[in-house]
Amino acid sequence: MYQQLRIAVVIPAYNEERAIARVVADVPAYVDHVIVVDDASGDGTAAAARAAVADRTGGEVVVHEVNRGVGGAIVTGYHRALALGVDAVAVMAGDGQMDPADLPSLLDPIAAGVADYVKGNRFRHPEVWTAMPPARIVGNLVLSAATKVTSGYTHVFDSQCGYTVASTRALRAIDLDRVFPRYGYPNDLLSHFHIAGMRVLDVPVRPVYGPAWKSGINLGTALHPIPWVLLRSFGTRVASEARARWRARA
Ligand X SMILES: Nc1nc2c(ncn2[C@@H]2O[C@H](COP(=O)(O)OP(=O)(O)O)[C@@H](O)[C@H]2O)c(=O)[nH]1
User: For the chain, give me the number of helices (H) and strands (E)?
Assistant: 10, 7
Which residue stretch of 68-76, 87-95, 116-124, 235-243 sits at the interface with Mg ion (rule: CB under 5 A)? Answer: 87-95
Please state, in angstroms and rounded to a whole number, the distance separating the CA atoms of residues 209 and 233.
Answer: 29
Q: How many residues bind ligand X (CB under 6 A)?
A: 18
Per CB under 6 A, contacts with ligand X among 97-136 are: 97
| List 16, 17, 39, 95, residue binding Mg ion (CB under 5 A) | 95
Chain-centroid distance, C-alpha 70: 9
Contact 160, 238 (CB under 8 A): no
Binding partner of residue 59 among ligand X, Mg ion, none, CB cut-off 5 to 8 Å per kind = none
E-only strand ranges, the chain: 7-13, 33-38, 59-63, 88-91, 117-121, 164-167, 200-204
Per CB under 6 A, contacts with ligand X among 43-102 are: 67, 69-70, 73, 93-95, 97
* Residue 97 binds to Mg ion (criterion: CB under 5 A): yes
Within 10 Å of residue 43's Cβ, how many Cβ atoms?
14
Which residue stretch of 89-97, 102-110, 175-183, 233-241 sits at the interface with Mg ion (rule: CB under 5 A)? Answer: 89-97
| List 21, 84, 142, 217, residue binding ligand X (CB under 6 A) | 217
DSSP state of 207: -
Please give the single-letter amino acid code of residue 165: V
Which residue stretch of 55-63, 90-98, 110-118, 225-233 sits at the interface with Mg ion (rule: CB under 5 A)? Answer: 90-98
Binding partner of residue 16 among ligand X, Mg ion, none, CB cut-off 5 to 8 Å per kind = ligand X
